[in-house]
Chain A
């Protein structure tokens, strides 16, 4: 005949059962609130002002002859140039039809940044058929210095030290906003 287990031993082996139900209630409420308020798509922006120029400014510009780095996207290539010929213009053929070579443009802009490390402005002249996707990629490549890029140093006027630049040309304006539809420039 089997022996009945001792009731004393059984009671000592029993652990304390924590009542998890209120914690569970709190957790479920918290998850509900977080799911309702969390935005999983994080949206970022690239700012660009509308170009405003007066006759006085134009006259001063003509006297000073600034760099006025311009990136013109044509049907088959992209051109990096300066209206005052501060550097030799460069044409970069598209990687695919209608798709500018973003990596090529970025390396071209890096070379220009090396020559003019304190310049921050860039004029973008896209082709009428350029898609918004390409437009954002172009602005990204013109604004940011990638981690894999060779460092470019610029003199900080406040400290007098040479510091690595963190942005290429962050101030982007569109150069053909006032031109007639279908026109590039």
Chain B
């Protein structure tokens, strides 16, 4: 009995004296793999394009990354320009049975025979005036000493369900406001 007691007491003493050391090697392995993965998928170009909840962008095989520009987001619910919701669509009766488009413009939002979107035109004109004012104040000039011309580039980000009729109205309105180049945004095909 005395022998057993002495062994037990010795084991207990050893446990108390031992310093608890956490094995960090396996954790380091995991973290190194995560860092390598993140560095591989890290894009050096800053993507300033935002999206809205529920947005379904189509997939494109294009390789061209969009440079920074003003952007319009079109969803079946609303049109957003530079993170500001400028108009909301009205749900149609045809959307209930799926026989037609699920949304339409309010009649008061359109003019020029239904081709121009008034709130969007106002927002685009305002943004253009602001850009031109900034360019006029800027010290960067062209060869003749004039302020740099307004580029007029607009990025269009639309939900995959949005119909061409709506995109066409946005393009027409943008062109009327002085935006002559459109960039259609999509997700890159991996």
Contacts and interface: CB of A to CB of B under 8 A. Distances in A.
A132 B160 contact: yes
A178 interface: yes
B171 A27 contact: no
Contact of B165 (A20, A129, A144): A129
A24 B64 contact: no
A43 B163 contact: no
A74 interface: no
A15 to B, nearest CB: 12
Given A17-B21, A46-B183, A48-B184, A128 B175 contact: no
Nearest to B105: A181
B106 interface: no
B124 interface: no
Contacts of A140: 60-62
Nearest to B159: A132
Contacts of A150: none
Interface string B25-37: 1011001101100
A52 interface: yes
B66 interface: yes
A64 interface: no
B129 to A, nearest CB: 20
B168 interface: yes
Nearest to A4: B10
Interface residues of A, number: 50
B56 to A, nearest CB: 8
Main secondary structure of the interface of B (DSSP, over half): mixed
Contact of B28 (A27, A39, A177): A27
B164 A45 contact: no
Interface stretch (A30-38, A86-94, A112-120, A156-164): A30-38
B42 to A, nearest CB: 5
Contacts of B16: none
Nearest to B63: A44
A149 interface: no
B190 to A, nearest CB: 8
B187 interface: yes
A182 to B, nearest CB: 7
B17 interface: no
B186 A23 contact: no
B43 A42 contact: yes
Contacts of B172: 177-178
B96 interface: no
A20 B32 CA distance: 13
B123 to A, nearest CB: 18
Contact of A44 (B64, B74, B113, B115): B64
A46 B113 contact: no
A47 B64 contact: yes
Contacts of A27: 28, 31-32, 35
Contacts of A132: 58, 74, 158-164, 167, 184
A42 B187 contact: yes
Given A39-B47, A136-B184, A45 B58 contact: no
Nearest to A130: B164
14 contacts: A20-B28, A38-B43, A39-B47, A43-B47, A46-B60, A49-B180, A129-B163, A132-B184, A136-B58, A136-B184, A139-B60, A144-B61, A181-B115, A181-B169
Q: 6 closest pairs, A vs B, by CB?
A: A133-B160, A45-B66, A34-B38, A45-B183, A128-B165, A133-B58
